[in-house]
Amino acid sequence: GWVMTMWAGAYDLEVEFAITDANTGLPIEGVAIEVAVEKDAPFYNHEGEPDQFKLTTNHLGLAQRICKRMMCFGTRSQLGFTDTFDSHLPLDWKCTISAPGYNNIDLHWLGESFEKLRRTEPGKSRVEVPISLHRSTQ
């Protein structure tokens, strides 16, 4: 029969925001991402994380934050044909995203935004949060 191994562990998870202009698709530099962490949220497990922090996108429209020791889990088959990976995500982040000349976005549930969770190297993983901003009409 098939032997499947279930496993669980803790990885450092890099969360990368990728912010673009909704019309042009071009990256936006200098976007402020203000994050408030809800400490009473389920699965909250980032010890030592501040209650609030701020990120700013670089010239590629990217901003990163590393969450230490997020719980992760998966299934691996003896022959290696099956090798799944999943991780808890920082769903307890409330984000306000703002840039001059654009409409602000408030994200209270990041879960719908996460894309492409993957292992990058042993003990590390990363996930992308793509966001498009619309120019303000004022």
- For 29-46, how does the pLDDT look when each residue is reduced to its tens digit (9 = 90+)? 999 999 988 766 555 555
Name the β-bridge partners of 15.
Answer: 65, 127
Backbone φ and ψ for 111, nearest 5 degrees, come out as -55, -35
Task: Indicate the pLDDT class of residue 136, thresholds 50, 70 and 90.
Answer: very high
| Antiparallel, parallel or unpaired: β 4-21 and 62-77 | antiparallel
The two three-digit tokens of residue 27, written as one number: 């990256």
* CA separation for the pair 75, 59 (Å, rounded): 38
Percent of the chain topping pLDDT 90: 35
Cβ–Cβ < 8 Å for 99, 105:
no
What is the pTM (predicted TM-score) of this model? 0.77
Is the CB of residue 131 less than 8 Å from the CB of residue 97? yes
Q: What is the mean pLDDT of residues 102-129?
A: 77
Taking residues 48-62, report their average pLDDT.
89
Yes or no: say if 132 and 70 are a contact pair by the CB < 8 Å rule.
Answer: no
pLDDT at 84 exceeding the cut of 80: no
| 2 vs 20, higher pLDDT | 20
